A and B are shown apart, each in its own frame.
Chain A
Amino acid sequence: MLWFVLRRLGVMILTAIVLTFVVFVMTNLPPNLEKLAKSEASVRMSDDAVVSWIDKNGYGGPIVGRYAQWLGVAPGWTRTDDDGTIAGRCVESGMSLDNAPRFCGILQGDWGYSTVFKKPVSTVLGNGLAATGWLMFWVMMVMVPTSLILGVLSGMREGSRTDRVLSTFAIASTATPEYVSGVILVALFASATVGISPTLAEWGWISGKTLFMGTATSAMDKITFWNFTLPVMTIALYGIGYIARMTRASMTEVMTAQYIRTARLKGVSFRNVVMKHALRNALIAPFTVIMLQFPWLLNGVVIVETLFNYKGFGWTLVQAAGNNDIELLLACSVVAVFVVLVTQLLSDIGYVFLNPRIRIS
């Protein structure tokens, strides 16, 4: 078991290094750097000035060297101008070369400076992740129980009417990407002209113009039922169908197993068979699926945060990518890749841990 975890960790670290290097190369292509130079220094710079700006600010030189500096395994660049001023990757204003640290990369916790938000990347990213954390928490709270119940209910008696209805619902929800379900939900519940809100307002059941709020910006300060339901439901809907189908497949398989028939023949009630014998075995497969849903949720988060204007991690990623904020985009990619890899690792370990057949062999 330990050897398995160590080997998986090794592969994970290798993957992380390769992926971050690819992202580093793609965000540091010459056109990006030119654009950065023009936006940071002056828009009307001559081509020569752009080249010298890039060189002076440590964006010149071989890409592997710059990657190593960014990672924090090579000493940061330093430069002494003719007039004696000292600049460098790790040198902040007022520091001399001697008391500045030699290494400053993400391994040392130095994530750089965001050019869009004019703040350190770690602050921007921290705020975004905290906001997204709340979103993810509520999505999980809605998605996991709902989908497991739906899956177990429809897998319990395969081919029954409940099964047909629930399966159709599951297919419909997997066929609705977040940007479609978001639009439909807003139209139904958060529009002043169509959907159910005008009727409710006419009857005097709601005080505002709409039932739910169409944006989640106010949820940044205070999460309420009215501003957070639509974003949470939008993300959860897409995942519910998928997890429910997996649970259903696993449940139907378990229900046809020999030991279930034995238990039924022994006279155990259907309810007890499902609760005590079938459920535990049927929930192993959905566990991995739920863990592997995290990367998909990341996608959903980006779409939903853009749609509902909720300033979390996904919104930050879109801002960074759209505004050529190299350091912020790199940091976002590191977080995203890290989330994906860790969930893969956890789902593998969890699967082995939960499934005695694999654990013993």
Chain B
Amino acid sequence: MDALSWGQIIARMAMQFLPVWIALVVTFGISIRFKRKLGLYGKLYDSPVGMIGFGMVMFWVFTAFFASMIMTHDPLTQISGMKNVLPGSAQKGTEGAFYLLGGDNLARDVFSRMVAGSRLVIAIAPMATVFAFMVGITLGLPAGYYGGKLDVVLSFAANLILAFPVILLFYLLVTPEIVESGLPQYLGVVLFLFPLIFLTVLLNSRLYVKPQLRNMLVAAVLIVGGWLYLSLLSSPDTKIDLLPAGIDAITLSGNILIVFVSVVFVNAPTVFRIIRGLVLDIKTRDYVAASQTRGEGPWYIMLWEILPNARGPLIVDFCLRIGYTTILLGTLGFFGLGLSPESPDWGSTINAGRRLLSVYVHPAIVPALALMSLVLGLNLLADGLREESLKD
């Protein structure tokens, strides 16, 4: 069977991505139809840059979602005779099966690995960013609002972490010896506590006037959150093995938890600094003074007066930060830290492909372009959001 030409390769890839195209068309169609009722999200469709960025991001989100339909081969299966084959090569012995973007040096399909890799990135990067924001908000609000000694101590700690070059920090946190000592997991114990604290304080500060509703909601948050917290942290055969397997809802394979923790740890101090700066600015406004005079509690003012008014810059930074987290995940993979070597994530694939870069380009350049397009999409989306949020 002959190899495919570039035109045929592109046509076949477009066919494979069919579910993604349908989902994109539906999303854009519905959103543009109702864009006046959708607030800031709807206004995004007034800015071409924002729309392009959103489209690129959603492309990868849908790719991750429909990954099992898009992949042509299993991302881990090695097929003999397909080592380093060029894009469009036909699979020997099987009619109509092609390695659309070629094979890597272990004879696996580059196209399927790229699609499978999007799953890891789309699952980890936004979640890690959410966690980093929770940590940053919970610590940054009081630091900016109260100031004084608390601010000095927290800012010093944040600057300490920021003074570490990121790669050195990764090497210190993710090497096997450190992982064996359980340090990243203990770090997770501390960091994952912040979303719980955040939600509890958020509900309590607003609903303390209605104790019954408050008690119910806070109890629900603590039970569900606590269960998720424990099942996220505890994994068998490590230092923290608390829950029996039966009720352990989330078991993360390999070192994903450790990668997750270190990415949150690196991002949190920057978020802290941004929040602190915003609070310092907003707390001088009249509406804050008004609620202080009304006798509102400090946490109510921080979470329900200051935080909603800081949302514009925070949403923009959130998009940028997901992109940055994606870059960090790629960096970890590039240095072979954390994730297992055969994992299809983009960083590890680039790392594996770069060894033969001057001869076979395709195994490294496909994930490189994928990563670049996702981060570029996020940056354009942030730019569009900033432009639109400045308009009112």
Binding site for B on A (CB under 8 A): 11, 15, 18-19, 22-23, 26-27, 29-32, 35, 171-172, 174-177, 179-180, 183-184, 186-187, 190-195, 210, 214, 295, 298-299, 302-303, 306-307, 317-318, 321, 324, 329, 332-333, 336-337, 340-341, 344
Contact = CB atoms under 8 A, between A and B. Distances in A.
A76 B317 CA distance: 49
B172 A19 contact: no
Interface string B332-358: 001100000000000100100110011
Contacts, number: 133
A340 B330 CA distance: 23
Nearest to B353: A183
A171 B376 contact: yes
Given A186-B357, A187-B365, A19 B375 contact: no
Contacts of B350: 179-180, 183
Nearest to A11: B156
Contacts of A318: 171, 335
B163 interface: yes
B361 A15 contact: no
A192 B359 CA distance: 7
B304 interface: no
Contacts of B331: 177, 179, 299, 303
A27 B160 CA distance: 18
A177 B376 contact: no
A171 B167 contact: no
Contact of B165 (A172, A298, A307): A298
Interface of B: 156, 159-160, 163-168, 171-172, 175, 177-178, 180-181, 183, 323, 327, 330-331, 334-335, 347, 350, 353-354, 357-361, 364-365, 368-369, 371-372, 375-376, 378-380, 383
B371 A180 contact: yes
B152 to A, nearest CB: 10
Nearest to A194: B361
B58 to A, nearest CB: 17
A302 B167 contact: yes
A258 to B, nearest CB: 22
A177 B383 CA distance: 18
Contacts of A15: 156, 159-160, 163
Given A15-B160, A214-B357, A317 B167 contact: yes
B368 A183 contact: yes
A184 B366 CA distance: 10
B163 A337 contact: yes
Contact of A336 (B168, B327, B371): B168
Given A31-B177, A35-B177, A194-B361, A175 B379 contact: yes
A306 B357 CA distance: 13
B118 to A, nearest CB: 15
A306 B335 contact: yes
A193 B380 CA distance: 33
A97 B372 CA distance: 60
Given A29-B178, A180-B350, A191-B357, A336 B372 contact: no
Contact of A175 (B172, B180, B372): B372
Contacts of B360: 193
Contacts of A336: 164-165, 168
A94 B357 CA distance: 51
Looking at B156, B175, B369, the one whose CB has the most chain A CB atoms below 10 A away is B175
Nearest to A186: B357
A161 to B, nearest CB: 14
Contacts of B156: 11, 15
B358 A179 contact: no
Given A171-B376, A179-B334, A344-B163, A307 B177 contact: no
Given A26-B178, A30-B181, A177 B163 contact: no
Contact of A184 (B163, B167, B359, B368): B368
B363 to A, nearest CB: 10
A317 B168 contact: yes
Contacts of A210: 358
Contacts of A174: 379
Nearest to B373: A175
A175 B376 contact: yes
Given A15-B163, A29-B181, A307-B354, A175 B375 contact: yes
B358 A214 contact: yes
21 contacts: A15-B159, A15-B160, A19-B163, A26-B172, A26-B183, A29-B177, A29-B181, A29-B183, A35-B177, A174-B379, A177-B371, A177-B375, A183-B354, A183-B365, A187-B361, A191-B358, A298-B167, A299-B331, A317-B168, A336-B164, A337-B163
A186 B359 CA distance: 11
Identify the 7 closest CB pairs spanning chains A and B, nearest first.
A321-B171, A175-B376, A31-B177, A175-B375, A180-B368, A187-B361, A183-B368
Given A302-B167, A329-B171, 17 more contacts: A23-B168, A29-B177, A29-B178, A171-B383, A174-B379, A175-B375, A183-B353, A183-B354, A183-B368, A187-B365, A191-B358, A192-B358, A298-B167, A299-B331, A302-B165, A303-B167, A303-B331
B154 to A, nearest CB: 14
B341 to A, nearest CB: 14
